[in-house]
Amino acid sequence: MRENGKVERRTVLKAAGASVAALGLATATGCGGNSGAGNGTVTIRYAWWGADERAKRINQSIKLFEKKYPKIKVKTDFQDYVAFWEKFQTQAAGGNPPDVFQNAVGFLRKYDKRGVLLDLKSQVDAGNLSLDNFREGVTKVGEADGKQLGVPVGSNTMALVIDKKVFDKAGIEPHTGWTWDDYFKALKTIKDKTGIPGDTGYFSIMYLYDLYLRQNGKAFFTKDGLGFDQSDLTEWWTDGYSRVKAGIITDPKRVEQDKPKSSVTAGHGASEFTWDNFTVRYTAEGTSTYGLAPIPTTDGKQTGQYLASLMLSASARTAHPKEVAQFIDFMVHDPEVGKIMGYDRGILASKEQYAAFKPTDEVNKEIAQYEDDTAKAGVLGTITPHPAGADTVESAFLRIGGDMSQGKTKVSDAVKQFFSEAQSAFSA
């Protein structure tokens, strides 16, 4: 769950800034591979990104784990998204990564290439970790090159978040199978009838562009690089820039001014593409009524959607692979953990946890229903494994697309710059 892409990164950073000291969390030091005690107790280090609420839930879950496995102690460390990966890269380069850590698909090949990630299949074969009883297709997200490099804790898929009151006022009702032409016509109608731009800026969201490409027989990434050419991106960004200039897309400068809030909740946009489980932020931030709408299509049928996921990965250098595997297994399968975590990291990945957590609020009910409906529609495909350097490419797509939309660079120059930076990232 990527939590990656424009919306994910902004959302996580918005929620970040949590104080480790305030939560009484022990920040790990030293090499986890040598952690142990004379009484047979071992200590493993667990790191993740997120904010206070996630930290509280995870620490409640760890208490349950340590109660079941009294010989395994867990030291925790967390930061916001950017700080987490800056610290992790330093730790990995120094041969001292955490024993177990939160991960995402964009980093699998990057750190497997550097020998950082443990292939968890050995622990599955040893009986310390189960890949059974997961929702259909979820575990594939953690696979790359025949290895199981991560185990999903939750899943999500791209969706369109809308301000229901604005859409109702404009007389627009999104429906399954609507096309991009339908969507763009709706944006203009919304602007004409309400004065509010219809979308906050779809064109620099890497994961949305991936869906569009998949609808047209391509994909953002291949195993080794980009799955599209400069003419494809020129068309996409030219189209986006023209809609900004026409006023049906929120002025990018306004979007920047609204941060850390979304321009949707600030009342400066009627819709925004994001991951479905992020819907909770809109209700928390805004005063309107927000909901999920279907992804527009090219052919009226295929959306290009797939399940993405946050996952747990392990260090290839850990001295305690069995204990790490037992920890991962507990965190993804234990029903009580499912009740504690809820949809904080996406729709719960394992069937045990999915069945254990029953959302009572309308927002989480709608998120669960959206994923159920999407699965039943038969449109979900398999995520394309990201090549090493994908995380850098994603950041470049967001940054350069933003500069283009503000008129800081011409579309043609922006496209050339992106392809140049992508090639450098893949070659690093």
Residue 269 forms part of a structural domain = yes
Going residue by residue through the chain, which has 428 residues, state the pLDDT in tens, using 9 for 90 and above.
444 433 333 333 333 333 222 222 333 333 444 456 557 899 999 999 987 889 999 999 999 999 999 999 999 999 988 899 999 999 999 999 999 999 999 899 999 999 999 999 999 999 999 999 998 888 989 999 999 999 999 989 999 999 999 999 999 999 999 999 999 999 999 999 999 999 999 999 999 999 999 999 999 999 889 999 999 999 999 999 999 999 999 999 999 999 989 999 999 999 999 999 888 889 889 999 999 999 999 999 999 999 888 999 999 999 999 999 999 999 999 999 999 999 989 899 999 999 999 999 888 899 989 988 998 888 999 888 799 999 999 999 999 999 999 999 999 999 999 999 999 999 98
Residues 285 and 346 in one domain: no
Q: Are residues 102 and 240 in the same domain?
A: no
First CA to last CA distance, the chain: 25
Classify 407 in phi/psi space as left (phi over 0), alpha (psi -120 to 50) or beta.
Answer: left
Q: Are residues 285 and 193 in the same domain?
A: yes
Task: Enumerate residues 6+ apart whose C-beta is below 8 A from 185.
Answer: none
In a domain, 7, yes or no: no
Quick one: which of 200, 275, 210, 208 has its CA closest to 243?
200
For residues 164 and 250, membership in a common domain is answered with yes
Position 180 in a domain: yes
Q: Which of 96, 66, 85, 384 is nearest to 223 (CA)?
A: 384
Element of type H or E holding 367: helix 362-376
On whether residue 185 sits in a domain, the answer given is: yes
Q: Which two tokens stand for residue 390?
A: 């994908």
Structure tokens at 36: 């142990």
Q: Tell me whether residue 5 is in a domain.
A: no
| Structure confidence at residue 16 (pLDDT) | 33
pTM to 2 decimal places: 0.82
Number of domains within the chain: 2
Give domain status of residue 98, yes or no.
Answer: yes
Q: Write out the residue range of the structural domain in which residue 320 sits.
A: 28-156+307-372
Contact call for residues 99 and 46 (beta carbons, < 8 A): yes
Assess whether 180 and 224 both reside in one domain.
yes
Residue 239, class by beta-carbon neighbours within 10 Å (0-12 exposed, 13-18 middle, 19+ buried)? middle
Question: Within this chain, do residues 83 and 111 fall inside the same structural domain, yes or no?
Answer: yes
Do 332 and 225 lie in a common domain? no
Q: What is the CATH number of the domain that holds 149?
A: 3.40.190.10
**Is residue 71 in some structural domain?**
yes
Token representation of residue 273: 């593409």
Do 78 and 197 share a domain, yes or no?
no
**Rounded-to-integer distance, Cα 236 and Cα 226, Å:** 15
- Together in a domain, 287 and 407: yes
**Are residue 285 and residue 388 in the same domain, yes or no?**
yes
**Residue at 61 is within a domain:** yes
Distances (CA, A) of 387 to 111, 255, 311, 317, 424: 10, 30, 17, 22, 13
Instruction: Report how far residue 44's alpha carbon sits from residue 55's, in angstroms, rounded to the nearest whole number.
Output: 17
Task: Please indicate, yes or no, whether residues 388 and 356 belong to a single structural domain of this protein.
Answer: no
Dihedral sign for Cα 127, 129, 134, 137, please: negative
Half-sphere exposure of 175 (CA within 13 A, CB side): 6
251 and 400, same domain (yes or no): yes
